[in-house]
Every structure is written in C-alpha cells, then in structure tokens.
Amino acid sequence: MKQEAASAAAQHGKYSLRQKVIAFVLVMILLPSVLIWAFSNFIFIRINENTARRNMASALQQTEIILRNHIESVQTFCEFIAFDPTLVSYLRRARYQWLSKAEVIDCLTYLTHMIDNLQNMNSQLRFSLYLNQPVLLTGERVRFFGFSEMPADIMAIYADGATKGFLPPVTKPVFPLRERNLYTVMQSVSGIPLKQGSLGLVVASIDSDVMEQILQDLRISYSATVFVHDNKQAFLKRTDSDDALIRHALSDVGRLTENVLQYDGTDYLVLAEPIKGIGWTLVALVPRNAVLQSSYQTAVLSLLFSILFAFIAVAVALIYFSRITRRLGELSDHLRFVENGDYGRQVPLAGDREIRSLQASFNSMSRTIRDLINERYRTQVLLQYSELKALENQIKPHFLYNIMDVIKFKAMRAGAAEVVTQIDILARFFRSTLGTGNRIISLDEEMRHIALYMQLQNYRYGDAIEFVKDVPPELATVPMLRFLLQPLVENAIVHGIQQKTPPRGRIEIAARQEQDDLVLTVTDDGTGMPPEMLEKILVAKGRVYGVQNVHQRVQVFYGDRYGLSYIYSNATGTCVAIRIPIDYSAYEST
C-alpha cells in the first residue's frame, strides 16, 4: 500500500505547475463548454427538426387541398351534367320512348353542347356519358355509350349502389390515339343507382400528368419521396421518388403512422396527410440527415468556436501564470541543488509578495540545514560508530585465546577428552564472536556461530534443547550484522525453556525473503511471557538488555523501518522476528 501511494505521488509529481494549470483551465473551460454545446445543439436540432416538420406538414396540407379541390371541381362538373333538369327530363322521357325523333336530336345536341362547353372550360378533362336508353344512342362512340360498354372497374363501384366515386389511374387510349394513365370521376344521373333503374352515368377522366404536376409543385426544400396511396398501392408519385423506399413503406402501412421510418440505414421523417372524402393519403418521406444538415453545420461551427475559445483562455492563463511558474520553477531548481548536497544555497528575492515569501523561507531553510549539517554531521557519524562499536565489542577478551590453549593442552595431558572438545568448541565460538573486526557477515556464518553456541548450551544442559534451522540455500550468502541471533536464542533458553518443568525444549531459526527484505524468526516452545512484558520488552532495561541492544543495532545500522518484532508469546512459546534489508553492497562498505 505504501509503495502504491509512493508510486502515485511520483506519478503526480511528474507534471509541472504549468502543465497542471493548462489541464485545470482546459477542464474548467472545455468541459462546461462541451456540455453546454452538447445540450444546446441537442435542443437546437430538435427545434430545427420540429420547425422543418411543421413547414413540410403545412406544404403537404396545401398540396392536399389542391388535390382535393381539383378532384372536387371535376366532381362538380359531373354533378352539373348529372343534375341538369333538361338532361334529366330528356332521359326520363326517353326511358318510356316518349321522345320524337326531333326531340332525340335536340337531346343529343344539347348534351353535346353542354359537354363541349365544360371541356372548353377545362381542356384537361374528358367527359363520357353512359346511357340506358337505346333511342338516344347513335353511331358515335366518343361521348355517348351504352351501359353494356361500361368498363368493369366503373361497373364494380356503380353496380354496388354508389352514386358517385373516384378511381385510381387506369391506362386507357385517348385522343390522339395513345395510351395514358387516367383517373376516373363518376356521378349517377339523378342520383339513382343502377339496380333501381338509373338514367345514366357521367364519367370524367383526368390525365395523371395533371395530378403528378400538383405533386411536383409541392414546396418542400429537401429531396423527398412523395406519393399518394390507398393503403394497398401507390398510384401517384413525384418523378424523383424512390420506388424501393415506397415499396418498403407500403409493405407495412403501419410504419407510415410513426414519426420516423428506417430504411437501408437511413432515417426518414414521415409526414402523412389524408385526402378528405376520397380515402387516399398523401405521404412525404424526407431524409432526416438532409433536414438536419444545416443543424450539423451549425453544431460543428459552434464546437470549433468553443475549442477556439478554450485555447484562447489557456493562452491567456499561461501568460498570466508564466511569471509565477517561472519563479516557482527557479525555486524548484534551487531545491534540487539542496537535495544534491549544495546546502546553504540562497535565492535572490524577486517577484510578487507571495513568491518573495517563499524565497525567503527557502533561504532560511537552506541556512538552517547547512548549520545543522555542519553541527551534527560529524557528531552523528561518530555517535553511530561508537554505538556500533560499543554494541559489538562489549567483550574483548583477546587474552582468552592463549589461556584456552593452555587449558586445552593440560586437559589433553590429563586425558580429559570431553573437556578438550568443550574447550575447542568454546574457542571456536569466541573466535566466531570476536571475528576479524568486520561488522557484516553472511547469514551462513551467523548460523554456524549459533550452532557452536547451541553445542555449548547443550553441554551445559545435558542435550535438553533441540536446535532446528530452516535456511534456504539461496539466502545463505545474504549479508547481515553479526551477533544478531545469539541474544534472541539466549533469551529463548533462559526465559523460556529453562522455566519449564522439566527444562527441555526446542528452538527453531527460520529465514525467508519478503520482497527486498530478509526476515529471520526465532521460535521456542518455552513458557512465554505475559502481555504487559511483551509490550515493553524492546524498551525495557535489565534482564532483556540483549534483545534491546539487537533492536537498537538494527535500527542504527539499517534505519527505523527495520528491527525486532514479537509475533506472539504465550503458554506454548515465543516467536520473535528480525527484519533487515537484503543489500549485497554491504560487503563492500565494511
């Protein structure tokens, strides 16, 4: 966790104040600008879409009115013929053959004159009259026909009892001789259906070009597919309409009741206007992208303006903060000089009041550091050296080597082989303890020293103590301060195992690596110690002096992060751990 925090702090420290100011200004200006831009453009696009939809709906309504008026005007012409009293009188009398030949001629002349006048009024119309009075039929088959010659589509509506109707376009021959798509408007004479004995049927044909021209004149500012349908087929459309799109729309007429129609990856705005009184619907399908093109362009321009505004703000902020950051950068450079050992460095006071206050504080700090270093450096070094020496060299019995040799030779002459072995082990132990004066030895050397110590202790206690070591081979060469484990082993014997009845036990020394640290544990199965003693053992005096010295030596040499810690101590024994860094360069420093 500490390493993660240190890593985060180092990552954070990589950025200069100038970079942080830029990031702050960008976040505080760009982010609100982008949010405002996104919201305003969303509203703007919706408003533009709704406005365009209303305008197109209005244009569609006007076109619907024009179509309906055109059809109604044709219907009016048909009604004018069908309800003409003179025509009705002629036809009723002809029905019962009450007309003389002269009256028949007068009737046909009257009809011809009336139809010609109506066609002159609207040259785009063609009128036909289907009669059920053979007496009025002549050889002409241009305007007057018998009921038997009535087209099937017209007959289907007329025979069903309708008095008037309107049919989609049907291809028919017209004058001059060519085929055209014609819409049909019909009206029963006197309004009596065929099954009740109708007098006749007036039929007007409208050229589809007339109807298509009305759609062509539809005022929609965008490329649109415009058509008229009767829920089954589209029989009237603009020339620039997309036939595939129309087929897709009419494959499910329910789609035309929605606001948006999707086809081939494109959204189309749907505008529909029913043509009243006819049962048809006028539909316009407009690509949504085309409607919103201007909105998108406005959005891009506003986004560019926001970005430009943000960069201008950043530039102004940089100009404003450049003077401050330059002074702080200079102060940071001086701090790095101090970190590198240039103590006492001074900075000239310049800049704003706050900057001058920082510079003055830096100068005071630098002088204080220099004075403290000069005053305490040598004292501290000498103190550490003397502490190490005092801890390592509490006993310097160099004369013991010669004395032990004398005792050993006398014991050999006396034939005391066991005494000779014990003195030999003791001599080797003291040589290991005193060593050659090096503070740093390998873990393996320390373990050999403890093995000799345990041999001596077992001579004393009659092999009552079992000694076990668990040191991986790869850790055998790890450097460490000498004489760290013996005080812990001694405490385990004196204050743990020897307090048992009988005084027998087991001591285990284990080593393991935790990241870059070496952790040594000394575990015994003695009587343990009470909790109140466990809390004070590393700072207590007197009988735990050896443990306290080990803890102090480790902290003096390696730093406060390292030292001793008791893992547990209870009725089943005690476990104490030593943590030191794994640093092979320690061999070179001794």
- What string of DSSP letters covers 229-280? E-SS-EEEE-TT--HHHHHHHHTSGGGGGSSEEEETTEEEEEEEEEETTTTE
Q: What is the pLDDT of residue 389?
A: 55
Can you read off the two tokens belonging to residue 477? 């060469």
Domain ranges of the chain: 83-213, 220-291, 343-389, 464-587
Q: How many angstroms separate the Cα of 487 from the Cα of each of 29, 428, 452, 563? A: 66, 18, 14, 14
DSSP 432-487: HHHTTS-SEEEHHHHHHHHHHHHHHHHHHHTS-EEEEEE--GGGTT-EEESSSSHH
What averages of pLDDT result for each successive group of 10 residues across the chain (590 residues)? 50 62 71 76 78 83 85 82 80 73 77 78 75 62 72 75 66 50 72 62 80 80 83 81 87 85 88 84 86 73 76 73 70 72 72 72 77 64 52 47 57 68 70 64 90 82 90 93 88 89 92 95 92 80 67 86 91 94 77
Burial of 335 (0-12, 13-18, 19+ CB in 10 A): middle
User: 464-587 — its CATH code?
Assistant: 3.30.565.10
Helix, coil or strand: residue 170: strand
Q: What is the pLDDT of residue 489?
A: 92
Q: What is the pLDDT of residue 145?
A: 77
In the DSSP assignment, the letter for residue 88 is H
Q: What is the pLDDT of residue 2?
A: 46
Taking the C-alpha atoms of residue 271 and residue 257, their distance in angstroms, rounded to an integer, is 9
User: 220-291 — its CATH code?
Assistant: 3.30.450
Predicted model pTM:
0.45
Q: What is the pLDDT of residue 193?
A: 57
CA nearest neighbour of 130 among 77, 78, 57, 206: 78
CA nearest neighbour of 240 among 262, 218, 265, 260: 218
Taking the C-alpha atoms of residue 336 and residue 345, their distance in angstroms, rounded to an integer, is 11
Question: Do 271 and 53 meet the contact criterion of CB atoms below 8 Å apart?
Answer: yes
Q: What is the pLDDT of residue 395?
A: 42
CA nearest neighbour of 288 among 26, 52, 37, 27: 52
* CATH top-level class of 83-213: alpha beta
Question: Do 511 and 472 meet the contact criterion of CB atoms below 8 Å apart?
Answer: yes
Name the pairing type of β-strands 517-524 and 573-581: antiparallel
Taking the C-alpha atoms of residue 401 and residue 386, their distance in angstroms, rounded to an integer, is 25
Domains 83-213 and 464-587 belong to one CATH topology: no
Give the residues across from 229 on adjacent strands: 234, 281
Can you read off the two tokens belonging to residue 562? 């390292």
